[in-house]
Chain A
Amino acid sequence: KNEVEQSPQNLTAQEGEFITINCSYSVGISALHWLQQHPGGGIVSLFMLSSGKKKHGRLIATINIQEKHSSLHITASHPRDSAVYICAGSLSSGTYKYIFGTGTRLKVLA
Chain B
Amino acid sequence: DADVTQTPRNRITKTGKRIMLECSQTKGHDRMYWYRQDPGLGLRLIYYSFDVKDINKGEISDGYSVSRQAQAKFSLSLESAIPNQTALYFCATSDFGAHTTLGPSYNEQFFGPGTRLTVL
Q: Which residues of A contact B (CB under 8 A)?
A: 2, 4, 30-31, 33, 35, 41-45, 48-50, 86, 88, 90, 95-103
Chain B 95-120, CB-CB to A under 8 Å as 1, else 0, gives 01001001001111111111010000
Interface size class of B (residues with CB under 8 A): 20 to 34
Q: Which residues of B contact A (CB under 8 A)?
A: 40-45, 48, 50, 88, 90, 96, 99, 102, 105-114, 116
Do the beta carbons of A30 and B105 come within 8 Å of each other? yes
Do the beta carbons of B42 and A42 come within 8 Å of each other? no
> What B residues does A42 contact at CB under 8 A?
111-114
A-B interface contact total, Cβ < 8 Å: 63
Do the beta carbons of A86 and B43 come within 8 Å of each other? yes
By secondary structure, the A interface counts as strand
Give min CB distance, B8 to chain A, whole Å.
Answer: 13
Give min CB distance, B23 to chain A, whole Å.
Answer: 13
Do the beta carbons of A4 and B90 come within 8 Å of each other? no
When C-beta atoms are compared, the residue in chain A nearest to B45 turns out to be A97
Do the beta carbons of A41 and B102 come within 8 Å of each other? no
When C-beta atoms are compared, the residue in chain A nearest to B94 turns out to be A96
